[in-house]
Amino acid sequence: MSARIEIHDANKVFGHGPRAITALESADLDIRPNEFVTFVGASGCGKSTLLRMIGGLESLTSGNITVNGQPITGPGVDRAMVFQHYSLYPWLTVLDNIRFCRQLKAHTRDRTSADVEKASGRADALIRLMGLSHVAHAYPSQLSGGMQQRVAIARALMSRPPILLMDEPFGALDAQTREVMHDLIRHVHRIEGSTIVFVTHDVEEAIYLGQRIVLMAPRPGRIDTLYDVPLPAERHQDMKLEPAFLALKREILERIRETSGMKTDLEQLARLNADAAATAQE
Protein backbone atom coordinates (compact mmCIF):
# COMPACT_ATOMS: atom_id res chain seq x y z
CA MET A 1 0.00 0.00 0.00
CA SER A 2 2.37 2.69 -1.09
CA ALA A 3 3.04 4.94 -3.99
CA ARG A 4 5.75 6.80 -5.83
CA ILE A 5 5.24 10.46 -6.68
CA GLU A 6 7.18 11.97 -9.55
CA ILE A 7 7.20 15.69 -10.17
CA HIS A 8 8.59 16.80 -13.54
CA ASP A 9 9.25 20.44 -14.29
CA ALA A 10 6.13 21.55 -12.44
CA ASN A 11 5.25 25.24 -12.87
CA LYS A 12 2.49 27.27 -11.35
CA VAL A 13 1.60 30.83 -12.22
CA PHE A 14 -1.32 32.57 -10.51
CA GLY A 15 -3.02 35.38 -12.37
CA HIS A 16 -2.26 36.93 -15.74
CA GLY A 17 -0.24 39.75 -17.21
CA PRO A 18 1.71 42.12 -15.02
CA ARG A 19 0.02 40.84 -11.85
CA ALA A 20 1.03 37.24 -12.46
CA ILE A 21 2.77 35.51 -9.55
CA THR A 22 5.08 32.60 -10.20
CA ALA A 23 4.25 30.42 -7.20
CA LEU A 24 6.40 27.53 -8.40
CA GLU A 25 9.13 27.36 -11.01
CA SER A 26 10.30 24.12 -12.65
CA ALA A 27 10.11 21.86 -9.63
CA ASP A 28 11.56 18.38 -10.03
CA LEU A 29 11.28 15.76 -7.33
CA ASP A 30 10.96 12.00 -6.94
CA ILE A 31 9.30 10.76 -3.81
CA ARG A 32 9.86 7.06 -3.15
CA PRO A 33 7.16 4.66 -1.99
CA ASN A 34 6.77 4.84 1.79
CA GLU A 35 9.06 7.83 2.03
CA PHE A 36 8.41 10.55 4.61
CA VAL A 37 9.31 13.87 2.97
CA THR A 38 9.01 17.25 4.64
CA PHE A 39 8.86 20.62 2.87
CA VAL A 40 10.26 23.68 4.60
CA GLY A 41 11.00 27.20 3.44
CA ALA A 42 10.21 30.84 3.92
CA SER A 43 6.62 32.00 3.78
CA GLY A 44 5.27 32.28 0.23
CA CYS A 45 7.80 29.92 -1.37
CA GLY A 46 5.09 27.68 -2.77
CA LYS A 47 5.03 24.78 -0.29
CA SER A 48 1.26 24.72 -0.04
CA THR A 49 0.92 25.22 -3.76
CA LEU A 50 3.10 22.21 -4.56
CA LEU A 51 1.33 20.05 -1.98
CA ARG A 52 -2.08 21.07 -3.32
CA MET A 53 -0.91 20.27 -6.84
CA ILE A 54 -0.01 16.75 -5.71
CA GLY A 55 -3.42 16.57 -4.06
CA GLY A 56 -5.07 17.58 -7.32
CA LEU A 57 -6.64 20.67 -5.73
CA GLU A 58 -4.54 23.01 -7.84
CA SER A 59 -3.83 22.60 -11.53
CA LEU A 60 -0.37 22.86 -13.07
CA THR A 61 0.46 25.69 -15.42
CA SER A 62 2.96 23.36 -17.10
CA GLY A 63 4.86 20.16 -16.36
CA ASN A 64 3.36 17.09 -14.78
CA ILE A 65 3.01 15.10 -11.61
CA THR A 66 2.47 11.35 -11.64
CA VAL A 67 1.51 8.86 -8.98
CA ASN A 68 2.79 5.39 -9.81
CA GLY A 69 3.18 6.60 -13.37
CA GLN A 70 -0.38 7.92 -13.68
CA PRO A 71 -0.67 11.68 -14.30
CA ILE A 72 -2.75 13.57 -11.75
CA THR A 73 -5.89 15.17 -13.14
CA GLY A 74 -7.72 16.01 -9.93
CA PRO A 75 -8.25 14.92 -6.34
CA GLY A 76 -8.42 11.17 -5.80
CA VAL A 77 -8.94 8.63 -3.08
CA ASP A 78 -5.28 7.55 -3.34
CA ARG A 79 -4.17 10.92 -1.90
CA ALA A 80 -5.68 11.93 1.43
CA MET A 81 -5.07 15.41 2.75
CA VAL A 82 -4.92 16.87 6.24
CA PHE A 83 -5.47 20.63 6.42
CA GLN A 84 -4.30 23.09 9.04
CA HIS A 85 -7.82 23.68 10.33
CA TYR A 86 -11.55 24.18 9.69
CA SER A 87 -11.80 20.97 7.72
CA LEU A 88 -13.81 18.83 10.16
CA TYR A 89 -17.57 18.61 9.79
CA PRO A 90 -18.99 20.29 12.90
CA TRP A 91 -22.43 18.67 12.54
CA LEU A 92 -20.99 15.15 12.73
CA THR A 93 -19.65 13.39 15.79
CA VAL A 94 -16.01 12.37 15.94
CA LEU A 95 -16.91 8.84 14.87
CA ASP A 96 -19.06 10.03 11.96
CA ASN A 97 -16.36 12.44 10.82
CA ILE A 98 -13.90 9.56 10.70
CA ARG A 99 -16.37 7.37 8.83
CA PHE A 100 -17.37 10.17 6.45
CA CYS A 101 -15.76 8.59 3.38
CA ARG A 102 -17.92 5.50 3.86
CA GLN A 103 -20.91 7.59 2.72
CA LEU A 104 -19.28 8.32 -0.61
CA LYS A 105 -19.78 6.27 -3.74
CA ALA A 106 -16.05 6.23 -4.38
CA HIS A 107 -15.59 4.04 -1.30
CA THR A 108 -18.63 1.84 -1.48
CA ARG A 109 -18.68 0.56 -5.04
CA ASP A 110 -18.12 -3.10 -4.27
CA ARG A 111 -19.59 -3.21 -0.86
CA THR A 112 -19.99 -6.58 0.76
CA SER A 113 -20.95 -7.18 4.33
CA ALA A 114 -17.37 -8.24 4.99
CA ASP A 115 -16.20 -4.85 3.66
CA VAL A 116 -18.61 -3.06 5.93
CA GLU A 117 -17.40 -5.01 8.91
CA LYS A 118 -13.78 -4.36 8.06
CA ALA A 119 -14.49 -0.64 7.71
CA SER A 120 -16.24 -0.37 11.05
CA GLY A 121 -13.37 -2.29 12.59
CA ARG A 122 -10.94 0.16 11.06
CA ALA A 123 -12.86 3.16 12.37
CA ASP A 124 -12.72 1.66 15.85
CA ALA A 125 -9.04 0.88 15.52
CA LEU A 126 -8.26 4.42 14.37
CA ILE A 127 -10.23 5.89 17.24
CA ARG A 128 -8.22 3.83 19.66
CA LEU A 129 -4.93 4.59 17.91
CA MET A 130 -5.61 8.31 18.08
CA GLY A 131 -6.71 8.15 21.71
CA LEU A 132 -10.20 9.39 20.93
CA SER A 133 -12.28 6.60 22.50
CA HIS A 134 -13.68 8.82 25.24
CA VAL A 135 -14.84 11.48 22.77
CA ALA A 136 -16.06 9.23 19.94
CA HIS A 137 -19.57 10.63 20.25
CA ALA A 138 -18.64 14.23 20.95
CA TYR A 139 -18.81 17.01 18.37
CA PRO A 140 -15.62 18.68 17.08
CA SER A 141 -16.51 21.97 18.79
CA GLN A 142 -16.22 20.18 22.12
CA LEU A 143 -12.62 19.09 21.48
CA SER A 144 -9.28 20.78 21.95
CA GLY A 145 -7.28 21.79 18.88
CA GLY A 146 -4.93 18.82 19.24
CA MET A 147 -7.81 16.37 19.42
CA GLN A 148 -9.46 17.96 16.40
CA GLN A 149 -6.32 17.40 14.37
CA ARG A 150 -6.21 13.79 15.50
CA VAL A 151 -9.74 13.39 14.19
CA ALA A 152 -8.69 14.97 10.89
CA ILE A 153 -5.78 12.54 10.61
CA ALA A 154 -7.94 9.55 11.49
CA ARG A 155 -10.46 10.65 8.86
CA ALA A 156 -7.72 10.91 6.26
CA LEU A 157 -6.42 7.45 7.17
CA MET A 158 -9.83 5.80 7.13
CA SER A 159 -9.67 4.79 3.47
CA ARG A 160 -6.07 3.47 3.73
CA PRO A 161 -4.69 6.07 1.34
CA PRO A 162 -1.28 5.17 -0.14
CA ILE A 163 -0.36 8.86 0.04
CA LEU A 164 -0.92 11.24 2.93
CA LEU A 165 -0.52 14.97 2.27
CA MET A 166 -0.29 17.28 5.29
CA ASP A 167 -0.17 21.07 5.19
CA GLU A 168 1.06 22.44 8.53
CA PRO A 169 -1.34 20.14 10.36
CA PHE A 170 0.16 20.98 13.75
CA GLY A 171 0.74 24.66 13.11
CA ALA A 172 -1.89 25.75 15.61
CA LEU A 173 -0.89 23.37 18.40
CA ASP A 174 1.24 23.99 21.47
CA ALA A 175 4.72 22.48 21.76
CA GLN A 176 3.80 19.54 24.02
CA THR A 177 0.83 18.47 21.97
CA ARG A 178 2.95 18.69 18.85
CA GLU A 179 5.54 16.30 20.26
CA VAL A 180 2.83 13.75 20.97
CA MET A 181 1.46 14.21 17.47
CA HIS A 182 4.92 13.78 15.95
CA ASP A 183 5.42 10.38 17.50
CA LEU A 184 1.89 9.45 16.55
CA ILE A 185 2.32 10.35 12.90
CA ARG A 186 5.66 8.54 12.68
CA HIS A 187 3.97 5.49 14.15
CA VAL A 188 1.24 5.78 11.52
CA HIS A 189 3.86 6.06 8.81
CA ARG A 190 5.50 2.85 9.99
CA ILE A 191 2.40 0.72 10.38
CA GLU A 192 0.44 2.00 7.37
CA GLY A 193 3.33 2.05 4.95
CA SER A 194 2.02 5.20 3.34
CA THR A 195 4.04 7.82 1.53
CA ILE A 196 3.83 11.06 3.50
CA VAL A 197 4.44 14.57 2.24
CA PHE A 198 4.43 17.03 5.11
CA VAL A 199 4.61 20.83 4.88
CA THR A 200 5.83 22.85 7.85
CA HIS A 201 7.67 26.03 8.63
CA ASP A 202 9.18 24.49 11.75
CA VAL A 203 12.66 23.17 10.87
CA GLU A 204 12.90 21.01 13.96
CA GLU A 205 9.61 19.36 13.09
CA ALA A 206 10.82 18.83 9.53
CA ILE A 207 13.99 17.07 10.66
CA TYR A 208 12.38 15.00 13.38
CA LEU A 209 9.68 13.67 11.07
CA GLY A 210 11.31 13.48 7.67
CA GLN A 211 13.65 11.05 6.01
CA ARG A 212 14.34 13.75 3.49
CA ILE A 213 13.85 17.49 3.64
CA VAL A 214 12.98 19.61 0.66
CA LEU A 215 13.96 23.21 1.20
CA MET A 216 12.06 25.66 -0.97
CA ALA A 217 12.88 29.29 -1.71
CA PRO A 218 10.62 32.18 -2.69
CA ARG A 219 10.42 34.72 -5.53
CA PRO A 220 9.99 32.73 -7.66
CA GLY A 221 8.91 29.71 -5.60
CA ARG A 222 11.28 26.83 -6.29
CA ILE A 223 12.97 23.78 -4.83
CA ASP A 224 16.30 24.94 -3.48
CA THR A 225 18.09 22.10 -1.67
CA LEU A 226 17.40 18.49 -0.68
CA TYR A 227 18.75 17.17 2.62
CA ASP A 228 18.91 13.56 3.77
CA VAL A 229 18.19 13.32 7.46
CA PRO A 230 21.08 11.48 9.17
CA LEU A 231 18.89 9.83 11.78
CA PRO A 232 17.79 6.19 12.11
CA ALA A 233 14.28 5.18 11.06
CA GLU A 234 13.29 4.83 14.69
CA ARG A 235 13.14 8.31 16.25
CA HIS A 236 12.77 9.56 19.77
CA GLN A 237 12.64 13.03 21.30
CA ASP A 238 16.22 12.90 22.71
CA MET A 239 17.58 12.90 19.16
CA LYS A 240 16.71 16.55 18.90
CA LEU A 241 19.74 17.26 21.08
CA GLU A 242 22.21 15.17 19.07
CA PRO A 243 24.98 17.06 17.27
CA ALA A 244 23.96 15.74 13.85
CA PHE A 245 20.41 16.97 14.40
CA LEU A 246 21.52 20.38 15.61
CA ALA A 247 24.05 20.78 12.82
CA LEU A 248 21.42 20.05 10.17
CA LYS A 249 19.00 22.39 11.87
CA ARG A 250 21.57 25.20 11.82
CA GLU A 251 22.42 24.54 8.18
CA ILE A 252 18.78 24.60 7.08
CA LEU A 253 17.89 27.67 9.11
CA GLU A 254 20.83 29.51 7.61
CA ARG A 255 19.83 28.56 4.10
CA ILE A 256 16.23 29.67 4.71
CA ARG A 257 17.52 32.99 5.97
CA GLU A 258 19.73 33.38 2.89
CA THR A 259 16.93 32.59 0.48
CA SER A 260 14.12 34.46 2.21
CA GLY A 261 15.60 37.87 1.35
CA MET A 262 14.32 39.18 4.66
CA LYS A 263 17.63 39.96 6.36
CA THR A 264 17.23 41.62 9.70
CA ASP A 265 18.46 45.11 9.21
CA LEU A 266 20.71 45.53 12.23
CA GLU A 267 21.20 49.21 11.58
CA GLN A 268 17.44 49.80 11.61
CA LEU A 269 17.14 47.85 14.82
CA ALA A 270 19.91 49.87 16.42
CA ARG A 271 18.19 53.10 15.42
CA LEU A 272 14.88 51.90 16.85
CA ASN A 273 16.62 51.06 20.08
CA ALA A 274 18.29 54.44 20.23
CA ASP A 275 14.96 56.15 19.63
CA ALA A 276 13.31 54.12 22.38
CA ALA A 277 16.14 54.98 24.78
CA ALA A 278 15.83 58.66 23.92
CA THR A 279 12.08 58.69 24.56
CA ALA A 280 12.55 56.88 27.83
CA GLN A 281 14.97 59.54 29.03
CA GLU A 282 12.65 62.44 28.32
Partner 1 sequence: MSASKSTGGVSPLWQIRAAIDPRHYWVLALLGLVAPLLGWGVASSLDGVDKVFLPGPADVLSRMWTWAVEDGLAGDVAISTWRVVAGWALSAVIALPLGLFIGSYRSVQALLEPLTDFIRYMPAVAFIPLVMLWVGIEEGSKVAIIFIGTFFQMVLMVAEDVRRVPLAQIEAAQTMGATRGEIIEKVIVPSAKPALLDTLRVTMGWAWTYLVVAELVAANSGLGYAVLKAQRFLQTDKIFAGILMIGLIGLVIDQGFRLVHRKAFPYLAGRH
Ligand X SMILES: Nc1ncnc2c1ncn2[C@@H]1O[C@H](COP(=O)(O)OP(=O)(O)OP(=O)(O)O)[C@@H](O)[C@H]1O
- The site for ligand X (CB under 6 A) is made up of 14-15, 21, 23, 41, 43-49, 201, 221
Cα dist from 190 to 73, 75, 125, 155, 174, whole Å: 29, 25, 16, 18, 24
Interface with partner 1 (CB under 8 A)? 55-57, 74-77, 79-81, 83-91, 100-101, 103-107, 139-142, 152, 155-156, 159, 165
Q: How large is the angle between the packed helices 113-129 and 175-192, nearest 10 degrees? A: 150
Cα dist from 215 to 1, 25, 68, 219, 247, whole Å: 27, 14, 24, 14, 16
**How near is the Cβ of 1 to partner 1 at its closest, in Å?**
16
- Using only C-alpha atoms, the chain has a radius of gyration, in whole angstroms, of 21
71 makes contact, choosing from partner 1, Mg ion, ligand X, none, with CB < 5 to 8 Å by partner type, with none
Q: Closest CB to ligand X among 253 and 276?
A: 253
212 makes contact, choosing from ligand X, Mg ion, partner 1, none, with CB < 5 to 8 Å by partner type, with none
Dihedral pair phi/psi, residue 280, rounded to 5°: -65, -35
**How near is the Cβ of 158 to ligand X at its closest, in Å?**
26
The answer to whether 64 touches 71, Cβ cutoff 8 Å, is: yes
- Amino acid symbol at 241: L
According to the binding rule CB under 5 A, does residue 48 interact with Mg ion?
Answer: yes
**How near is the Cβ of 51 to Mg ion at its closest, in Å?**
8
Q: Closest CB to Mg ion among 39 and 208?
A: 39
**How near is the Cβ of 177 to partner 1 at its closest, in Å?**
17
**How near is the Cβ of 78 to partner 1 at its closest, in Å?**
9
- Amino acid symbol at 134: H
Q: Closest CB to partner 1 among 14 and 91?
A: 91
**How near is the Cβ of 157 to partner 1 at its closest, in Å?**
11
Q: Closest CB to partner 1 among 1 and 104?
A: 104
In angstroms, the CA 165 to CA 76 distance is: 12
SS3 164: strand
15 phi-psi bin (left φ>0, alpha ψ -120 to 50, beta other) = left
Q: Closest CB to ligand X among 123 and 223?
A: 223
104 makes contact, choosing from partner 1, Mg ion, ligand X, none, with CB < 5 to 8 Å by partner type, with partner 1
**How near is the Cβ of 101 to partner 1 at its closest, in Å?**
4
Number of helices (H) and strands (E) in the chain: give both, helices first.
Answer: 8, 10
Which segment (21-29, 47-55, 152-160, 187-195) binds Mg ion by CB under 5 A? 47-55
Cis peptide before 169 (omega within 30 of 0): no
Residues that bind Mg ion (CB under 5 A): 48
